[in-house]
Amino acid sequence: VGSGAAGALDGLLPRGCREVALVGDSSVMGLYGEPLARRLEALAGTVHRLSFPPGEASKTRETKAVLEDRLLEAGATRGLCVVALGGGISLDLGGFLAATYLRGVDWIAVPTSLLAQVDAAVGGKTAVNTPRGKNLVGAFHQPAAIAIDPTYLSTLAPVEWRAGLAELVKTACVADAALFAWIEGEVVALGAPHVLDERFLERCVGIKADLVVADEREAGPRAYLNFGHTIGHALEKASAHALRHGEAVASGMVVEAELARRLCGLPDRDASRLVACLAALGLETRRPSLPFAALAPFLGADKKRRAGRVGEVELALPRRIGEMAGAEGAWTVAAPLALLEEAWEARA
Ligand SMILES: NC(=O)c1ccc[n+]([C@@H]2O[C@H](COP(=O)([O-])OP(=O)(O)OC[C@H]3O[C@@H](n4cnc5c(N)ncnc54)[C@H](O)[C@@H]3O)[C@@H](O)[C@H]2O)c1
Ligand SMILES: [Zn+2]
């Protein structure tokens, strides 16, 4: 973590790396691709520049296949290292490409959005979407290195910045009440894109890294990071991606906190603090005007659902700000669909 981190890839490229595939959406590649590509050319020799149109609609098996075919046609070998540059979409796609190209090659994550720097870059989850749901096909494939350069953040669109703040609030809710209080105190400064303090980025990365190290495959406490995501992912799908991931997670947290009040004893005061914090950051605190029935099919398709009973959904819910409900062996809470619908209606 640090300004210039991406320029310092020298020491981070895996030994034996002979060529690089620089993968990113066309916006980020246009802004930051060439200087990085030239740096990588000096370090590794050949650099294949692979870009695709920005947006969730590109995070598919089809896009991955197009990129793979280009590498195969170029004759890229197992000495290839994928460098994924961009937001969570570029990282999820680039990482998954690396996971299966010639049965797997190394990759490096260079996150450029706030969401990717505080969340998506860490943990080795890579995936694409399918028509049945988000992130349904993918692999756990840890990057060889992650270079987080906060100076990238200065060019982020305000709407993308806000979407990233949602994951930041989530991280604090899940694991760190002090971080949550810090965000509350900084809401004015956090209102617009800027180059975030490195210590702060390190704290966010540290929280996620600790949960991932404890539970790489999400059989345990890593599931906590899904707070806001059961509803959030369903909203993304039901709205055909009219909502950004972070925006959907913000709405998802509000609805799921409402459920946590009813199911896990989340104090009213904590639920109110969450809503007030999201509102002050310019995020949505009401659920979109969709009928619950529009969401239901996507709640069922959520792969995070354990083999639970029919009519129940498994969710990661907070017991208070900074601490999640559930204990040893039970990291999520089973909620009757009817109770979830009640919470949904309550946030109209
Ligand atoms: N793998 C994980 O653990 C994980 C965690 C959270 C989210 N995700 C995934 O991440 C995706 C969302 O990520 P995102 O919000 O970063 O979306 P994104 O990758 O689409 O980036 C958002 C937009 O900002 C632009 N952008 C990125 N960096 C920029 C910069 N520095 N300057 C200017 N523009 C820039 C991009 O071109 C894009 O248009 C979702 O698909 C979500 O499922 C994955
Ligand atoms: Zn997320």
How far apart are the C-alpha atoms of 254 and 147, rounded to whole Å? 32
**CA 319, CA 218: separation in Å to the nearest integer?**
20
Rg (CA), the chain: 20
Comparing 296 with 248, the larger pLDDT belongs to 248
Give the ligand at the shortest distance from the Cα of 231: 2
Mean pLDDT along residues 29-54: 96
216/139 Cα distance (integer angstroms) = 12
More reliable by pLDDT, 4 or 321: 321
Handedness of CA 210, 175, 3, 48 (dihedral sign): positive
Predicted local distance difference test score (pLDDT) of residue 339: 94
Q: Give me the pLDDT at residue 308, please.
A: 55
- The pLDDT confidence band at residue 173, using thresholds 50, 70 and 90, is very high
- Say how many C-beta atoms besides its own lie within 10 A of residue 268's C-beta: 8
- Residue 302, pLDDT score: 44
Return the active site residues: 103, 125, 167, 208, 218, 222, 226, 229, 233, 245
Tokens at 146, concatenated: 């992650």
CA dihedral sign, ordered 211, 214, 218, 224: negative
What is the pTM for the complete model shown?
Answer: 0.92
Q: What is the mean pLDDT of residues 236-244?
A: 89
Q: Ligand 1 atom 10: the closest Cα is on which residue? A: 88
CB 171 within 8 A of CB 246: no
> What residue's CA is closest to ligand 1, atom 13?
88
Residue pair 105/20 in contact (Cβ under 8 Å)? The answer is: no
Cα 58 to chain centroid, rounded: 16
Residues with beta carbon inside 6 Å of ligand 1? 25, 27-28, 31, 54, 56, 59, 86-90, 92, 112-113, 115-116, 119-120, 123, 125, 134-135, 152, 155-156, 160, 163, 245-246
pLDDT for residue 14 is more than 50: yes
Q: Tokens for 115? A: 């969401």
Which tokens belong to 210?
A: 């600790």
**Can you read off the two tokens belonging to residue 262?**
């009813």
Instruction: Specify the pLDDT at position 309.
Output: 62
Residues contacting 14, CB < 8 A, separation 6+ = 81, 106, 144
Site to probe by mutation for ligand 1, drawn from 23, 26, 28 as the one with most ligand atoms within 8 Å of Cβ, is 28
What angle (nearest 5°) sits at the alpha carbon of residue 268, between those of residues 330 and 282? 95
Q: How many CB atoms within 10 Å of residue 337?
A: 15
At residue 301, the pLDDT reads: 41
For residue 4, pLDDT beyond 90: no
Most confident among 27-41, 192-206, 212-226 (mean pLDDT): 27-41
Query: Residues 2-31: what's their mean pLDDT?
Result: 91
The CA angle 152-157-160, to the nearest 5 degrees, is 90
**pLDDT score for 300:** 65
Stronger pLDDT, 49 or 310, i.e. the higher one = 49
For residue 79, pLDDT beyond 90: yes
Mean pLDDT over each residue of the chain, to the nearest integer: 93
Q: What is the pLDDT of residues 249-260, one digit of tens each?
A: 999 999 999 999
For 279-334, what is each residue's pLDDT tens digit?
A: 999 998 999 999 999 998 888 644 445 555 668 899 999 999 999 998 667 889 99
- Is the pLDDT at 74 greater than 90? The verdict is yes
- What DSSP string runs through 127-139? EEEETTEEEEEEE
Average pLDDT for 152-164: 96
For 37, 66, 83, 205, 307, the CA distances from 9, given in Å and listed in that order, are 11, 27, 10, 19, 43
Q: Which residues pair with 23 in a beta bridge?
A: 50, 84
Closest ligand 1 atom to residue 167 Cα is 6
